[in-house]
Structure 1
Amino acid sequence: MTNQTNNIINASVKMLEISEDESGQRIDNYLLSKLKGVPKSLIYRIVRKGEVRVNKGRIKPEYKLQAGDVVRVPPVRISEKEQSPISTKLNKVAQLESQIIFEDDCLLVINKPSGIAVHGGSGLSFGVIEGLRALRPDARFLELVHRIDRDTSGILLVAKKRSTLRSLHEQLRNKIVQKEYLALVRGQWQSHVKTIQAPLLKNELASGERIVKVSEQGKPSETHFSIEERYNNATLVKASPITGRTHQIRVHTLYAGHPIALDDKYGDQKFDQEMTALGLDRLFLHAFSIRFEHPKTGETLRLNAPLDEKIKKVLQKLREQQ
């Protein structure tokens, strides 16, 4: 086989010792970060065949690495056909660079554009995390701290150290992290509706699509709301989720009778048509603010992600209609 049809990702056997910072992650995720451009299917194949070994023994893809483990990484060749097509997404990668709003040696914070998934999968070969790894090829560790929906824009935290990931996960569990979203919803939000507590049940359809509904069998879910601005037939609300359920804000606004503009799962067709006429072409849900303790310094960080210009113009048109 020629080099034109094959790409050598790893030319020789490597023996890599796991540091304290790298411990706790699954072997498959570790290999994905080390063998950039190698598809997940090939990672699983070399693990199943026993070509990847930890402390000279075979392991499963879900094995969690410990500090001091020695990982044998075999030579890997992939065809151009197999290679993850990051190169064809260079414009998206460049777009991500311009959206980074904070970065230090522990943490990277990005204002994620709407329409880009946080990670590849479900038929997608490209996500924010793959793009950031392409932008930061020398980064030993880059992992999502949390997720936001593909169509939601705004703040997304990415850890650059295992210790940072652990610290922020603990803050999320203890509800120290505070997130605020802006959502444009149908109709006049009632001033007295400040908190919605409605249990949410997640259903996965045969197609793999996830649909969430309010149900007594669901998990406890709570969102705080306040009114930012009123318009003739819509309201800009601020939503602060206390719990972090899938599609929580989208389903809670619908439960209140005020679905979010251009929500393809839980929206209202007539309202969406009115907003489309004003130039809106995406779900109007934006993670605009986050507050947490910096994992290294302990200081309280509050970061904001501005709305994009297209969405600002839609709000201006709504003001002009009044």
Structure 2
Amino acid sequence: MAENGVRQWQVTDAEAGQRLDNFLLRVMKGVPRSHIYKILRSGEVRVNKGRARPHYHLAEGDVLRLPPVRVAAPSDPAVLPAYLQGQLEAAVLYEDSHLLVLDKPSGLAVHGGSGLSWGVIEALRQLRPDARELELVHRLDRDTSGCLIFSKKRSALRALHEALRAGLMEKRYLVLAAGDWQGEARSVRLALRKNTLQSGERMVRVDPVEGKAAHTHFLPLERFRGAVLLQADLDTGRTHQIRVHLQAIGHAVAGDEKYGDAAFNQRLRALGLRRLFLHAALVAFRHPQDGRPMRIEAPLPADLQAILTPLRKESAG
């Protein structure tokens, strides 16, 4: 183990646009992810002499204080299993020199850590070693499948982050929810507050006082007995937004062990559901290089399609 001293780091134009936590994981190679978040929570990392959240996006000229850290001796990265290499290559929906869009499989975290040798980003960096600036543009929960965007250039990352902030990126999900849906389309505007438990688990609650604005449009696509297939369009991208908004209006997401309905989940498990029924079905945005419209879709996976068949039979009976 080696001890590094305090460093001052001025963010360059090429580094701007990255999330602070992702930047630290890059420049503090060998430091465990859990320790990165610990020094962020404690305020040991400073941005322009002040505290900053992990999701803060760096700006050119920002001055970072990086504290002394104990760095593990370098070791060979975990080798990506052949089955996962094939699975991810087959899941690429779109790719060019600026970006890549993946149909992320359910059960695969976007980042490694917590006992995982790799997540999607680490896996893709092994598969695309020449894409030295490969970064996540946004995130999906581990159990959520579907469209996940990666940038291959800093300029693309900045442009796509700006589109997200300006509400110029369309993100559409398919979700199976409990209950009998009344009426047609419904918009939910409930502020959400994220808390991190001592265990590191993230929990989100509706909080009209301290929460951040969150807005979801829901449209019923197919109704079943005691369940509904919904299209969900996000105006904001808060953590667990769809899951908590549906819980709040009495329509928990199928297979949701954190915010869901235990009896409904048991019913769906009997039909074969083994995970969260939440799928990022579409992303639409302007290409960061030339502005051409991009519309990329990921079909509903076979395991989720298979759940709808018995629901249709139940409802018809």
Aligned-partner Cα distance in 2 for 1:171–1:112 = 21
Identify which of 261, 265, 278 aligns with 2:271: 278
Identify which of 287, 302, 316 aligns with 1:309: 302
Higher Cα Rg: structure 1 or 2? Answer: 1
Stretches (4+) displaced over 6 A: 30-35, 64-67
- Deviation of the 1:174 alpha carbon: 0.5
- Deviation of the 1:94 alpha carbon: 2.5
Per the alignment, residue 226 of structure 2 pairs with 233
Q: Deviations over 1:171-219 (max 9, x none)?
A: 0010000110000001111225510111111111111111111122211
Q: Deviations over 1:286-318 (max 9, x none)?
A: 000111001112111111001111111111221
**Does structure 1 retain, via aligned residues, the 8 Å contact 2:190–2:206?**
yes
TM-score where L is the length of structure 2: 0.78
Per the alignment, residue 72 of structure 1 pairs with none
**Does structure 1 retain, via aligned residues, the 8 Å contact 2:30–2:72?**
no
Per the alignment, residue 258 of structure 1 pairs with 251
Per the alignment, residue 311 of structure 2 pairs with 318
Aligned-partner Cα distance in 1 for 2:311–2:95 = 35
Give, as a single letter, the amino acid of the residue that structure 2 aligns with 1:163. Answer: S
- Deviation of the 1:140 alpha carbon: 1.8
Give, as a single letter, the amino acid of the residue that structure 1 aligns with 2:239. Answer: T
What is the DSSP-based 3-state SS (H/G/I as helix, E as strand, rest coil) of the residue aligned with 1:141? coil
Q: Which moved more, 1:18-27 or 1:150-159?
A: 18-27
**Does structure 1 retain, via aligned residues, the 8 Å contact 2:173–2:281?**
yes
Identify which of 161, 168, 171 aligns with 1:176: 168
Aligned-partner Cα distance in 2 for 1:89–1:194 = 43
The reply to whether residue 293 of structure 1 matches residue 286 of structure 2 is: yes
Unpaired runs of 5+ residues, structure 2, are: 1-10, 37-55, 62-70
The reply to whether residue 96 of structure 1 matches residue 88 of structure 2 is: yes
What is the DSSP-based 3-state SS (H/G/I as helix, E as strand, rest coil) of the residue aligned with 2:139? coil
Q: Deviations over 1:58-83 (max 9, x none)?
A: xxxx9x7979xxxxxxxx9956xx44
Per the alignment, residue 107 of structure 1 pairs with 99
Aligned-partner Cα distance in 2 for 1:215–1:27 = 26
The reply to whether residue 214 of structure 1 matches residue 206 of structure 2 is: yes
Structure 1 residues 224 and 92: CA distance shift in structure 2, 3 A? same
Aligned-partner Cα distance in 1 for 2:158–2:81 = 31
- Deviation of the 1:39 alpha carbon: 3.7
Aligned-partner Cα distance in 2 for 1:194–1:255 = 13
- Deviation of the 1:25 alpha carbon: 4.9
Aligned-partner Cα distance in 1 for 2:250–2:186 = 14
Aligned-partner Cα distance in 1 for 2:147–2:124 = 14
- Deviation of the 1:20 alpha carbon: 5.8
**Does structure 2 retain, via aligned residues, the 8 Å contact 1:184–1:235?**
yes
Per the alignment, residue 202 of structure 1 pairs with 194
Per the alignment, residue 149 of structure 2 pairs with 157
Identify which of 262, 266, 274 aligns with 1:269: 262
Aligned-partner Cα distance in 2 for 1:65–1:244 = 21
Q: Deviations over 1:263-299 (max 9, x none)?
A: 0100111111111111110000000011100111211
Q: Deviations over 1:89-111 (max 9, x none)?
A: 33223211110000011000000
What is the DSSP-based 3-state SS (H/G/I as helix, E as strand, rest coil) of the residue aligned with 2:89? helix
Q: How many residues align?
A: 274
Aligned-partner Cα distance in 1 for 2:32–2:272 = 40
**Does structure 1 retain, via aligned residues, the 8 Å contact 2:135–2:150?**
yes
Aligned-partner Cα distance in 2 for 1:221–1:32 = 29
**Does structure 1 retain, via aligned residues, the 8 Å contact 2:184–2:220?**
no
**Does structure 1 retain, via aligned residues, the 8 Å contact 2:101–2:147?**
yes
**Does structure 1 retain, via aligned residues, the 8 Å contact 2:17–2:161?**
no
- Deviation of the 1:33 alpha carbon: 6.3
- Deviation of the 1:30 alpha carbon: 6.6
Give, as a single letter, the amino acid of the residue that structure 2 aligns with 1:287. Answer: A
Identify which of 238, 241, 257 aligns with 1:248: 241
Q: Which moved more, 1:150-159 or 1:312-321?
A: 312-321
What is the DSSP-based 3-state SS (H/G/I as helix, E as strand, rest coil) of the residue aligned with 2:310? helix
What is the DSSP-based 3-state SS (H/G/I as helix, E as strand, rest coil) of the residue aligned with 1:257? coil
